[in-house]
Every structure is written in C-alpha cells, then in structure tokens.
Amino acid sequence: MFKGSIVALVTPFKGNEIDEFALRKLVDWHISEGTDGIVPVGTTGESPTLNHDEHERVVEIVIDQSNKRVPIIAGTGSNSTAEAINLLKHAENAGADAALVVTPYYNKPTPEGLYAHYEALDSASSGIPIIIYNIPSRSVIDINVDLMGRLSHLQSIVGVKDATSDISRIKEHNELCEDGFIQLSGEDETIYEFMINGGQGCISVTANILPKVCSDMHKAFSNNDLEEAKRLNNILMPLHKSLFIETSPSPVKYILSKMDLIDYEIRLPLVKIRQETKSILDEIISNLEIRTTSSILNFSNI
C-alpha cells in the first residue's frame, strides 16, 4: 500500500489562513497525475507552525478530498510523546491510512528514550500503521540500524522514511528489521540509488511540482525499466537540487505559486526566497517548461 511516488504535500495559505479550496485542488491534481500517496502536515506541510486545530483540519480535508482514492499518511510527530499520541489518535479517527512520526526533536532522547517514545505510540494506537521519520539533519538525533531493528518488532511500526542519505542502511534494515519492513526515501536527490538498492518509494518534495514525472519514474522502477527510471531522474535532478537552495518549503511554494496553484505564503520563521534563488528557479521552470494550473503541463523535452 505504501510505495511509489508519495507527495510530501505543502499546506497552502491565503491571508495566513489555510486555503481549503487550494488544498482540495492540490489533492485532486495529484491523484489525477498518478501520485501514489499523500502526506499532509509533514515538514513540507509546515507542521511546526500550524496550531493543533489547523493541523487536524488539514488532515481531515485531505482525507475527505481523497475519498480513499490513494493512501493518506498523516504527519503526527511531536517532541512531546503525549502530543504525538493525541495527533496519532486524531489521524486514526479521521480515517488516515497511516501516520508519519518524526523522531523527537530538540529533547535529544537516548536510544532507550526513542524506543519508549515509539512504544508508547504503538500501545496508544488502535492499529494504524506507523512510519518512522528519521531525519537527523532536522531533529539532531538518529535512529541507528540496530534500534530500527528493535522498533520494527513493535506491532504498529511498518516502515521508515529515511532522510539520512545513507544508502547502505537499506540492506542493513532488511537484515535487522521485520519481514516486509517498508523503506521510503526522504531525499529526492538519492532516489535512484535508493530504489535500485531495494527501496519501495519516496516521500517527495519534488512531486509537489512534477507529480506525473515522479509517478512515471516509480512505475519504471516497478517495471524494472531502470534505463527509463534513470532518464526521468536525470530530468528531475536540477529540480531535486534547487528545491533545497533555501529552506523547504519556501522554494517549492514559490514554484507552485508561479503555476497558479497556490498563493506564495509561508509562515515565520521561514521567509520568502531571495531574488537570486528566484532567478535560479525561474530558469529551471523555463527549462522544464513547467506550465500552469489544472494539470496543464507540457514536457516537450521529456
């Protein structure tokens, strides 16, 4: 169920409020373009600056609009275990297909603290699958492969979104984790290597912009057409790199606004990108011939 091109969805704002119309439009657009799953209120969805009511509302809107057409993996992480449990229960009750739970940031728990955190979530859930989000670059701490192996034996833990860029972990996870443990990349730039080494998919920022190309690339992987997958990945690589010139999701929101899909609004402490970054992104938009709205995208060079 959790594989292929899964978008780490932005949260659109209008007047600093959630833009429900734009959010619903994005969900429909992604499904029509072949996206295999949607992650609302993750890092790309600006979860740190959504209040609890907003967080829950975004999850509810995405679940309602998707109407079971694709799996919804709701972001429910927090550095407070009690808060993470509350978000997890809400996502479960709202009908999410899984929860994405980031490692607790700022607190810097020990490995035993990390295990206790996920064990508490496992005990509190009624069975919703939990995907661990391991992103040391943002959360400081890392779940090493031995601990991941232990965590995989908890009933609700089904996989990991791995944003370490360490391709060697795929094989190590396969050796230490439960059979069927799902490995999803959290780094668009490394997706080709991640997939050919045994990964099942990617929770992608780039898929916000080119969902069909990302979907086609994963279909090529599933068909064992590595030449086509590599060709599409090479086309996507400039976008993979440019979306992180400044802190995400400001660059991706800029491009989406140029596509007339959302307003270019981002919440402090993140700010809009600099003019020099806009120039780089504008050139990429032109080179890829990224067009505008309603899935009208022309890729004459693809």
Active-site residue flag, 192: no
Contact assessment for residue 206 and residue 239, using Cβ atoms and an 8 Å cutoff: yes
Indicate the length of the chain as a whole number: 302
C-alpha–C-alpha distance, residues 146 and 176, integer Å: 7
Using DSSP, state whether 99 is helix, strand or coil. strand
Catalytic annotation, pick one of 3, 118, 133, 192: 133
Where helices occur in 36-151 by DSSP H, the ranges are 52-66, 81-94, 111-124, 136-139, 145-151
Using DSSP, state whether 279 is helix, strand or coil. helix
Catalytic annotation, pick one of 3, 161, 212, 258: 161
- For residue 28, list its beta bridge partners: none
Write out the H or E segment, with its range, that includes residue 223: none
Active-site residue flag, 133: yes
Residues annotated as catalytic (active site), given as ranges:
133, 161
